[in-house]
Structure 1
Amino acid sequence: MNVRARAGVVTVAAAAVVAVLAGCSDSGDTPDVPTIAPQTPIAAPVVEAGAPAGQVVPMPDAGGALAYCSSTEQVAVLSADGRSVQFRPTAALSTPTRTVGLSDKASGFGTFANGVLQVLIPHALLRVNSATGDVVRTDLPGTPLSAVLTSQGQTLVGNDLGQIAVVGADGGIEKTISGLVRVDALAEHNGQVVALDRAQSSVTQVDIGGDDLGVALRSGDGATNLTVDHFGRFLTTDTKGGEFLAFSGDPLVNKFRYPVAFGPYAVGYDDTHNLAWVATTGDNKVTAYELASGTPVQTRQFTTVGQADSMVVDPDSGTVYLLSARGEGLQVIDPDQQ
């Protein structure tokens, strides 16, 4: 019997506000607040639940991170050792068009747009051009954990010091906003910016213009990942507590908390079919939910490659891409397949 179908749904109008301290560029102090050990993905079972759905492209040396570029229709794949990036067109995924070596071990990716990929390495953000292989470096404090290219053309980079650096189009740092413990994920929609802090299991509004932090809300007991859909709903996974959550509005409010078993981790949204996708590593599944009713309704579920820690969704076709962190390849799922 499906655990998700049996579980009850908890819908709330708001959640408890997390006490965080807001600071500006000259502070850099970590707030004195209760913290938890940042949650990591639940280990996938050794015994598979069945053959992975869709197409699986062998990539034994990949598994570090995954990104998708709509304008060039290609994916970027980080090697398992974090030392190189492969660019692969979605029409011919089996062969990379370009491989770019990195100056240091990367921890992940930011936005991949207009053929340029943001790569996070210690003390710097790299912008890698997929067409030429050229790399532009911006030196930054701390270890970058997240990055996002905003609709205003700025790049926001979150680090392990709880700071958000605002980087202009020229690569220069315009300002730094402090006050979080860590900035593990960033998302932006029409100028509204939200940061996820795994150490506080919280989501926090960020006022870029005012150099300050806004409302902060708990996101379960062990939040890990964040995305935003075209309606402006910020969607998070609580891996430790087993929940899928949504936040929206200004100020931010919690719209629902939905129980999801087996360690929800990667999260994405299909703007074409209006489906939220959540990958659960504890059972090697990925599940699609409709959110039109205000609470998630499961519509599809597929078996994934083992340890699918990374997921991206093509917003135009709805195709779901999942990358195995243990070398089992890149999986491609058509959302309309049975």
Structure 2
Amino acid sequence: MNVRGRSLLVAMAAAALVLSGCSDSDDTPDVPTIAPQTPIAAPAADPAKPPAGVVVPVANAGTALAYCTMTKQLAMLSDDGRSVLFYDTAGLAPGAAPVRTVALSDKATGVGTFSSGKLEVLIPGALLIIDSTTGDTVRVDLPGTPLSAVLTSGGDILVGNDKGSLMVVDPAGTVRDTITGFVRVDAIAEHEGQVVVLDRAQSSVTEVDVEDSDLGVSLRSGDGATNLTVDHYGRFLTTDTLGGEFLAFYGDPIVNKFRHPVAFGPYAVDYDDTHNLAWVATTGNNQVTAYELATGTPVQVQQFQTVSQANSMVVNPETGTVYLLSADGGGLQIINPDQQ
């Protein structure tokens, strides 16, 4: 089950903020904000620096990527956001066709967890749960435009939207609670019940006590945070695209464990649980880098050239295979670090 919904120690530049959340208000906080960051545009392709590994041409795909460990499938959003393509990873090679394509009722804004063959897809006003085997879709109507979702270890789905709300959807598809207090909820990660939310408009990470509907400690995550994941140790890892940093937060309450400079616009981030490596993709130079974190300071151990504009990345937690999806038609890249 792929649930990512799951060094130099430095102090955060900004102090921790303790916020309170409630379920009966749609008001967003009156706080300083920035324009939510987007990936840095990739440079023109350099023939002298071809992508590592194998590149599979994928027609009409390029905006989001998810992996299911049970079915060994990849799910990709089409370039227009109006369909999902499911691919078997076994023998995935140039010329491979999707095993299933599912049309969507509206343009997707992203995907959440892909687990046990069920993919969470976000569209304006709803969460869709798509069965990759049958194509059957369950719709859960939600307010606003959902931006992020994660399946928790307890079986609930947490969905964040553009209005700063975090909604708790139970396994029956009922919205059990709504927690407010953010400007946006752009990414969510959960580890053994600990939930952290990333808000791009505040460039912050915030702990959430889902059971009590409260917000906990909130910390700045650089100058323009974009993405969030969590490893099996419970370290919440973020990328600061604007400020050029890779950051980690840990503990309860969370504290900043490191801020590591990364040039060329760090964006996509994921973790390899098998080799204990954090992977960070930088679109400004079309590269992806693996960091070992055991010493508390990120140590670069591998680096590869990627497809152009690799905005989406997922790592198979069982094998360490890295999948990167080009947002400008460059295809799906497959890197097996052990074979490079």
Q: Same fold (TM over 0.5)?
A: yes
Give how far 1:47 is off.
3.2
Task: Answer yes or no: is the 8 Å Cα contact 1:18–1:202 preserved in 2.
Answer: no
Which residue does the alignment assign to 1:4? none
Percent of aligned pairs with the same amino acid: 72
Q: 1 CA distance for matches of 2:15 and 2:105?
A: 41
Q: 2 CA distance for matches of 1:64 and 1:242?
A: 22
Which residue does the alignment assign to 2:261? 259
Map of 1:91-130 to 2, 5 A cutoff? Answer: 91-93=90-92, 94-130=96-132
Cα deviations by residue, 1:82-135 (Å, 9 ceiling, x for unpaired) = 000011010143121110000000011000000000000001000000000000
Give how far 1:311 is off.
0.2
Which residue does the alignment assign to 1:32? 30
Runs of 4+ in structure 1 off by over 2 angstroms are 13-23
Task: Answer yes or no: is the 8 Å Cα contact 2:237–2:248 preserved in 1.
Answer: yes
Give how far 1:64 is off.
1.2
Number of residue pairs the alignment of both structures matches: 330
Q: 2 CA distance for matches of 1:224 and 1:230?
A: 21
- Return the letter of the residue paired with 1:102: L
Q: 2:203 aligns with which of 201, 204, 212?
A: 201
Task: Answer yes or no: is the 8 Å Cα contact 1:203–1:219 preserved in 2.
Answer: yes
Which residue does the alignment assign to 2:66? 67
Q: 1 CA distance for matches of 2:72 and 2:117?
A: 9
Map of 1:126-145 to 2, 5 A cutoff? Answer: 126-145=128-147
Change over 3 Å in CA distance of 1:14–1:261 after alignment to 2: closer
- Return the letter of the residue paired with 1:44: A
Pick which of 263-272 and 88-97 moved more. 88-97
State the SS of the aligned residue for 2:185.
coil
Give how far 1:15 is off.
5.4
Which residue does the alignment assign to 2:300? 298
Which residue does the alignment assign to 1:51? 50
Taking structure 1 as the reference length, the TM-score comes to 0.96
Which residue does the alignment assign to 1:149? 151
Cα deviations by residue, 1:121-156 (Å, 9 ceiling, x for unpaired) = 001000000000000000001100000000000000
Change over 3 Å in CA distance of 1:151–1:124 after alignment to 2: same
Give how far 1:19 is off.
4.4
**C-alpha RMSD of matched pairs (Å):** 1.2
Which residue does the alignment assign to 1:6? none
Give how far 1:16 is off.
2.5
Which residue does the alignment assign to 2:231? 229
- In the alignment, structure 2 segments of 5+ residues that lack a partner are 1-6
- Return the letter of the residue paired with 2:76: V
Give how far 1:18 is off.
5.2
- Return the letter of the residue paired with 1:250: D
Taking structure 2 as the reference length, the TM-score comes to 0.95
